[in-house]
Structure 1
Amino acid sequence: MKKHFHINLNRIAATCKGNPLKASPIGILKEFFNYATPAEHTKAFDEFCRAALKQKYGWHRGSPGNALHYAEQLELLIEAAYLLHKDRQLYRNSLTQQQAATESAEYADALHYSKTFFSQAPLRKWKKWLHVFTMAAISQQSAADEMKPVTIYTFTSLITLLLQMAAVMVKNNG
């Protein structure tokens, strides 16, 4: 594998203590949703974005460390989705035979969405945008100072859909 592939998966490498390619993306997604339900994540992401787009300090879910922790969780979500996008067979192999035989339209949509998600921007750019939002959420700056409106819309709307897609994959995987 190319060296840059490993560098871009630094959150998985730090969390899983080793080679990110040996991490289970489905396991990471399951852990993500063990932390909070899909609805709770959607609400938290909305509040994260609102805080990042204010021209003053706007994080009100505890300390700034909570925002940093949530951003790390979002980074794990993005990296796990990237691993699944790069090797869709990882997900397919993790299904039981019965689940694979009754593969739902939701699952097909989720796989299609992951392709769409990463065709909008490469992994590195998603992580850069997340970093801008994170720094803005815990400061008195706005992400709008550094990002164009269309980029903000792309980031917020597609991460919201990524949350939904990941929830479908976890649900289909039992």
Structure 2
Amino acid sequence: MPKKTIKRMMPDHQTIKDNKYLKIFGNLLHNANLWHLNRHSVAKAFAVGLFFAFIPVPFQMVLAAGAAIVVHANLPLAITLVWLTNPLTMPFIFYACYLVGTWVLAEPEQAFAFQANWQWVIDSLSTIGPAFLVGCGVLAVTFSILGYFGIQALWRYQTIKAWKSRPHR
């Protein structure tokens, strides 16, 4: 069942409560509903975590935590899913965002060479920025919706399978 697998992989409650960046939420982190694992809280956590994974801003975990608190999603799972975009996967994911953005805006792809400095970032906002940001938005919403309904369906399938495998009394 997904609940057991997710529970094994989740960080400890205290680790998240002690995170220095999440202390801004204060007593909101003590809400017991943020720590429960059920079909609805996990599906909402997938939606929140996958949405913010595709948003190219610093402190994605803090934004995901705030959204998880607002929608009563499982907090550790929402924060963990943001790390889908990590330093290893970020170039590939953000390039895919750029490609989707060029497709949505019907713009031709522009050749560019990444440079790790702020001047390049500022200069690129006017050239490849619009397509990149549109692509990030489209993929954020798409994967958020797919994650939500995918977890709902997987959880329902696993529950039905577990009930059917019970011995008849």
TM-score bracket, shorter-length normalisation: under 0.3
Which structure has the larger Rg over C-alpha atoms?
A: 2
Relative contact order (C-alpha < 8 Å, sep 6+): which is higher?
1
* Richer in helix (by share): 1
Using structure 2 for the length normalisation, give the TM-score. Answer: 0.28
Give the TM-score normalised by structure 1.
0.27
